[in-house]
Structure 1
C-alpha cells in the first residue's frame, strides 16, 4: 500500500514508523499530521479510504474519529455560553424543560462537559431506539435517573455527550449542535470538519472497517456503548444517513491535518479559538476542571471542558485508534486519524518517536 506526503528534516523517524505500520498491514488507511511553530512539518497519508482500494488516502480525507469528536462538540456549547444563552453553572433544567426529573435538577453544563453528570450511557429504556433517532435518545436522557449523584463521580459520557449538549442548545437557543458547529465554530476556526457531512463533501469520507471480525464485541468499553445499537456497526456508520446526521459524541468528520492544525494554536492568546469563545472561556476550556477516578476508563483522569490533560499534554482519543494532542513539553501538535478500527498501539508508536507519552489517554475502559 502507498504512503504519500512529506516529513521535514528531523521527522524521518515519524515517517519510518508510519510507513512500517502500512507495510506490515497494521494500518490500511490513515492520516498523520504534526505541526510545529505554525507549520505542518509532517503530512502523511497511507493506504486507502475505502475497502475496495479505489480511493487513495489523501491529506484531506475525512474520517470519523469517535470520541475525538467531543472537544469539538463542546465548543458549540461554549459559543452559547459566550453569547449569554447558557451559563456553565446554571442547571440545564432551567432551559431544558423536563430534563430536571429524577435527581437531575442540579446538573449543569459544566457537569456535562467534564463528564460528571451521571449519564455515561443511554438508559435501557432507549434500547429499542435507532441510532438516528436523536429526539428519542434526547428524551430518554431527560427521563432517566442518573447512575450516580451528579458532580460526585466521573465517567466519560461515551455516547450521550453530544445529545446532552444538543438538548440544552435546542432549548436555550433554538439551534442544534450541528447548526452551531457548522455555522459558527467551523468558519471561525477555519476548520475542515463537519457534524453532518454536506453532499459536496461526501466523496472525501473514508469507510470504517474492523481490524478483526470480533473487534466490536471484544471492546472493554462495550457495556457503555451497547445502547443504541449502531455506532460501532460498520453498516450503520458507513451509511450516507449516518454521515449526514449529528451524533455529537462520536461522529465529527475531519482530517488529521485539520485537527493537528487546530491543536497547534490551542493555547495561542491571539489565535482563532480565543476569538471564538473569548479570553475567559478559552482559559476555562483548557484548564483542569475535574480530577478523579473515571468509572468508564477505570483509572484516574483529569478532564478540562473538552480534553484530557496532564502536566505534559492536552489530548483526546477515540475508540478504534484515532488520537490527537498538543504537547506542552515539546511545543508540537499531532493527530493520527484512522479508518481501521483497532487498538491504540499504532498512535502510541508515533507518539514515542516524538517523545510523547499517551498514558493520559487510557484506551481501555473498565467494565461496570
Structure 2
C-alpha cells in the first residue's frame, strides 16, 4: 500500500477531512485510487463523486477557448476588442487573447460594483469587465484572474463562435471520458458532494486580505458553503471556479495532457498544444504574492504543471515522476492537506 493512502486516512482520523479522494494514473493506468469520508455526512465517497474544485477549473476553461483557436475562430494574438468591441474601453483596446489566457490582462478582480450583483447575473458582470480600467497595463504584469478568468473567456468564445463555454466544454469532456463539468447537468446533481467549511477562519482570512478580498469577494457569496451547495450554483456556469469533478476525472485529463501524441495534443495540434503547456508569462503575481510562471491555463515550474483551488483541491502532472494526480476534498480550507499528498507522492 502506498504511503499516500495512510496520509489520506490520517486526515480523517485527525478530523480534518470530511470527505475526499485521490487518483494517480501512470502510463494510462490507475495506479492509486482511494476515497475517504462521505459526500454529505451519510453517503460514502466513491469514485463517481463530484465536488466543486475552485481554480482547478481554469485550465479547462482555457482549453475550451484554445479549441476555438485551433479551428481558426480566434487567434492567440488577436485583440479581444476585435470580437468584443465594448472591451476596447478604458485602455484595454490592445489586450490580446493570449494575455487573457495567461493572466496578464490586468483584470484580476471584478470592479467594486460587482459586490452588489448576483453571482449568476452573467450579463451584468461581463458588462462591468468590458467597461473596467485594467489594474495594470495589459501584458506588463501577471495577476491571477481569480473570478474574472472564466467570464472573460466565456464572452470571448461567445463573441467568436456563438457558443457557451460550459456547453462547448461538456462536449469535449464527454468525447474524451473526462468526468469534469463546468456546469452540472440535472442528471449528475445526485453525485455532487456538499462542501463544508473545516476552518472557520478560511473565508474571513481571504476576504480581509488586500489582494484576495477583491479577487474572491466580488460578487459576494462564492466562499459561502450554503451558496456553493445550492442547485442554483451547481447549474450555473462560472467557469473560473465552478467546476465539479471526480478525482479520477481530473487524473484522466492530466494523463492525456502532456504526450505529443496524446488526446489533448490531437485536439489542439502540436503548436497550440505546446502553447497550452509551455511558459507564456512569468513574474511576481500581484494576487498570489509570489513568483509564478503561467502557461495558457496552468501554473508550471520544474516539478509539475497543474492548478490548485482555494478550497484545497488540486490536480497536476508530475514532471519528476511522470504521473497524473487528481486530489479533491469537500472540506474547504487551506492547502496543507494537498501539500502532504504532494510530498508523499513526489518526494516519498
For Structure 1 versus Structure 2, the TM-score category normalised by the shorter chain is over 0.9
Match of 1:118 in 2: 106
Kindly indicate whether residue 330 of structure 2 is the aligned counterpart of residue 339 of structure 1.
yes
Which of 299, 311, 323 in structure 1 is aligned with 2:302?
Answer: 311
221-230 or 162-171: bigger deviation: 221-230
Give deviations 1:55-114, integer Å, cap 9, x for gaps: 111111001110000000001100110111111111110001211111010111111111
2:274 and 2:148 mapped to 1: Cα distance? 25
Kindly indicate whether residue 316 of structure 2 is the aligned counterpart of residue 325 of structure 1.
yes
Offset at residue 341 of structure 1 (A) = 0.6
Please state whether the residue corresponding to 1:228 is helix, strand or coil: coil
8 Å CA contact 1:188, 1:272 repeated in 2 = no
1:89 and 1:71 mapped to 2: Cα distance? 19
Please state whether the residue corresponding to 1:197 is helix, strand or coil: coil
Kindly indicate whether residue 127 of structure 2 is the aligned counterpart of residue 148 of structure 1.
no
Please state whether the residue corresponding to 1:216 is helix, strand or coil: helix
Match of 2:195 in 1: 208
Give deviations 1:283-311, integer Å, cap 9, x for gaps: 11000111111000111110001111112
Equivalent residues in 2 for 1:124-273, closer than 5 Å: 124-183=112-171, 185-219=172-206, 220=209, 221-273=212-264
TM-score, normalised by the number of residues in structure 1: 0.91
Which of 339, 351, 365 in structure 1 is aligned with 2:342?
Answer: 351
Please state whether the residue corresponding to 1:101 is helix, strand or coil: helix
- Corresponding residue pairs, total: 344
1:250 and 1:17 mapped to 2: Cα distance? 26
Offset at residue 187 of structure 1 (A) = 2.5
Which of 101, 104, 110 in structure 1 is aligned with 2:92?
Answer: 104
Cα RMSD after superposing both structures: 1.2
Please state whether the residue corresponding to 1:45 is helix, strand or coil: strand
* Moved >3 Å (runs of 4+): none
239-248 or 267-276: bigger deviation: 267-276
Offset at residue 237 of structure 1 (A) = 1.0
TM-score, normalised by the number of residues in structure 2: 0.96
Higher relative contact order, chain-length normalized (CA < 8 Å, sep 6+)? 2
Please state whether the residue corresponding to 1:170 is helix, strand or coil: helix
Please state whether the residue corresponding to 1:196 is helix, strand or coil: coil
8 Å CA contact 1:64, 1:253 repeated in 2 = yes
Structure (1/2) with the larger helix percentage: 2
1:120 and 1:312 mapped to 2: Cα distance? 26
2:229 and 2:347 mapped to 1: Cα distance? 32
- Structure 1 residues without counterparts, runs of 5 or longer: 1-10, 358-368
2:311 and 2:71 mapped to 1: Cα distance? 35
Which of 70, 82, 103 in structure 2 is aligned with 1:94?
Answer: 82
Please state whether the residue corresponding to 1:42 is helix, strand or coil: strand
141-150 or 216-225: bigger deviation: 216-225
Which of 7, 13, 17 in structure 1 is aligned with 2:7?
Answer: 17
